[in-house]
Chain A
């Protein structure tokens, strides 16, 4: 009886406050999407800087700097990074600051994943491509990166899922994401648990959808592996 009462209350809560959750989910999605995209692009660049073995002074410097960057980001809490960026740039909109903090954070993790992926591709692949006369750039584009991405897709998918969950932290600086909306509904209903349950369900739907999408992508990329 009590259980049914709970379910009914829950449904009523959603019926009344769903616009908050909708808006929050939209913002969470947008943030995750932008941060994933930017984080991947920056992470890719960091990875390439990190593995370049050039003797060129500038590239050597970039190799060192990207290494230091990755260590700092991975070695400090996202919350601290977020608050630091948020407080340092007062003129910036909080959304921009949120996207930047999340992207910069994710980039460090993506960089390590991509680096491992590139190094997992057999050296013979590079040698075969170069011996045919391909430039080093073309070798990366055509031979190394497609294989590396395939190898790292599970790890990359995992990182994207982590990122969706981590976006919840931006509610700390007043960005109206899903977590923030749950907070509003909490204070309106004086009920702490149901809004959190709702947020949880929505996060779960988002991450499950993404992980299903990644599985499909993996399957398609592994078509060449049939024995």
Chain B
């Protein structure tokens, strides 16, 4: 019942059912990014296909979060190319806000709006940006809240919620814009261990429903189960890419082996 409700939601999002994996949704070419003298991205190239669930793993400081944040230009790379649904996001004359509406993002620290209720957090962007009426937006929020099992928190303020609840609301807030891809920046890293399961379950449901997802995470167990593809990054480049079985069980590169031996 939960699944079918969610399927409905995502089908509406695309205006039809999701096409088979294969069509390229996001294409990144040769991203370069410095923070001061630090060279964080040294030519990252990658393609994300529709419906794919891609995990980005790697040691801290490897540039994986920066790579993710470049995908919706929260960080602006100095050079390279990011093509989303056929549009070059690094072009000067692009309406970035319009495209960001289609790229949902979930943060490590949730970043819910503390001065707004759960309902307002979810409906703000759909009302202001998609032109939904308050009633339509509330309807959409109600469905999402039911999916994530937090209907009773509808009128609560974020400060009254637990970390796990906050993160699920944050995911609902992003989903309310009916994005074509969801970016997750270490979504469970700030959670108490007993809260992690709820968030991962929700992400698994999203994946099952065909949502395109790019996930930076340290949850290796979850990556093994949920990922279509795993990217291993180190020192600002993608060292290795493949199915979870390939990367986790049969890593080709020495650095991947080294990293996995420490975390698995």
Cβ contacts under 8 Å, B109 to chain A: 124
A130 at the interface (CB under 8 A from B): yes
Please tell me if the beta carbons of B74 and A130 are within 8 angstroms of each other in the complex: yes
Dominant secondary structure of chain B at its interface with chain A? mixed
A127 at the interface (CB under 8 A from B): yes
Q: Whole-angstrom distance between the alpha carbons of A122 and B115 in the complex? A: 13
Please tell me if the beta carbons of A134 and B125 are within 8 angstroms of each other in the complex: yes
Q: Whole-angstrom distance between the alpha carbons of A127 and B103 in the complex? A: 13
Cβ contacts under 8 Å, A146 to chain B: 115
B259 at the interface (CB under 8 A from A): no
A224 at the interface (CB under 8 A from B): yes
A194-225 contacts to B, CB under 8 A, are 221, 223-225
Please tell me if the beta carbons of B114 and A147 are within 8 angstroms of each other in the complex: yes
Please tell me if the beta carbons of A143 and B177 are within 8 angstroms of each other in the complex: no
Please tell me if the beta carbons of B72 and A131 are within 8 angstroms of each other in the complex: yes
Nearest CB on B from A128, distance (A): 4
Q: Whole-angstrom distance between the alpha carbons of A142 and B157 in the complex? A: 16
Cβ contacts under 8 Å, B113 to chain A: 125, 128-129, 143
Q: Whole-angstrom distance between the alpha carbons of A125 and B105 in the complex? A: 12
Cβ contacts under 8 Å, B159 to chain A: 224-227
Please tell me if the beta carbons of B114 and A224 are within 8 angstroms of each other in the complex: yes
Q: Which residue of chain B has its CB nearest to the CB of A122?
A: B111
Please tell me if the beta carbons of B111 and A125 are within 8 angstroms of each other in the complex: yes
Cβ contacts under 8 Å, B111 to chain A: 122, 124-125, 127-128
Nearest CB on B from A177, distance (A): 38
B92-124 to A contact mask, C-beta < 8 Å, 1/0:
000001111101110101011111110000001
Please tell me if the beta carbons of B128 and A138 are within 8 angstroms of each other in the complex: yes
Cβ contacts under 8 Å, B157 to chain A: 223-226
A100-131 contacts to B, CB under 8 A, are 122, 124-125, 127-131
Please tell me if the beta carbons of B125 and A132 are within 8 angstroms of each other in the complex: yes
Q: Whole-angstrom distance between the alpha carbons of A223 and B114 in the complex? A: 11
B160 at the interface (CB under 8 A from A): yes
A60 at the interface (CB under 8 A from B): no
Cβ contacts under 8 Å, A150 to chain B: 115
Please tell me if the beta carbons of B115 and A135 are within 8 angstroms of each other in the complex: no
B174 at the interface (CB under 8 A from A): yes
Q: How many A-B residue pairs have CB under 8 A?
A: 73
Q: Whole-angstrom distance between the alpha carbons of A131 and B124 in the complex? A: 13
Please tell me if the beta carbons of A227 and B107 are within 8 angstroms of each other in the complex: no
In this complex, the interface size class of chain A, counting residues with CB under 8 Å from chain B, is 20 to 34
With contacts A124-B109, A125-B111 taken as known, whether A133 is within 8 angstroms of B160 at the C-beta atoms is no
Cβ contacts under 8 Å, A224 to chain B: 114-117, 157-159
Please tell me if the beta carbons of B160 and A132 are within 8 angstroms of each other in the complex: no
Please tell me if the beta carbons of B124 and A142 are within 8 angstroms of each other in the complex: yes
Q: Which residue of chain A has its CB nearest to the CB of B173?
A: A132
A3-59 contacts to B, CB under 8 A, are none
Q: Whole-angstrom distance between the alpha carbons of A125 and B158 in the complex? A: 13
Q: Whole-angstrom distance between the alpha carbons of A127 and B173 in the complex? A: 14
Please tell me if the beta carbons of B103 and A131 are within 8 angstroms of each other in the complex: yes
Q: Whole-angstrom distance between the alpha carbons of A132 and B114 in the complex? A: 16
Please tell me if the beta carbons of B160 and A226 are within 8 angstroms of each other in the complex: yes
B129 at the interface (CB under 8 A from A): yes
Cβ contacts under 8 Å, A133 to chain B: 97-101, 125, 129, 177
List 19 contacting pairs A-B, 8 Å CB cutoff, sorted by A. A122-B111, A124-B111, A127-B74, A128-B105, A130-B100, A131-B74, A132-B124, A132-B125, A132-B177, A133-B99, A133-B125, A133-B129, A134-B128, A138-B128, A221-B115, A224-B157, A224-B159, A225-B159, A226-B159
Q: Which residues of A contact B (CB under 8 A)?
A: 122, 124-125, 127-135, 138, 142-143, 146-147, 150, 221, 223-227
Q: A224-B115, A224-B117, A226-B159 are in contact. List 17 more A-B contacts (CB 8 A).
A: A122-B111, A125-B113, A127-B107, A127-B111, A128-B170, A129-B113, A130-B74, A131-B72, A132-B101, A132-B174, A133-B98, A134-B97, A134-B129, A138-B128, A223-B157, A225-B159, A226-B160
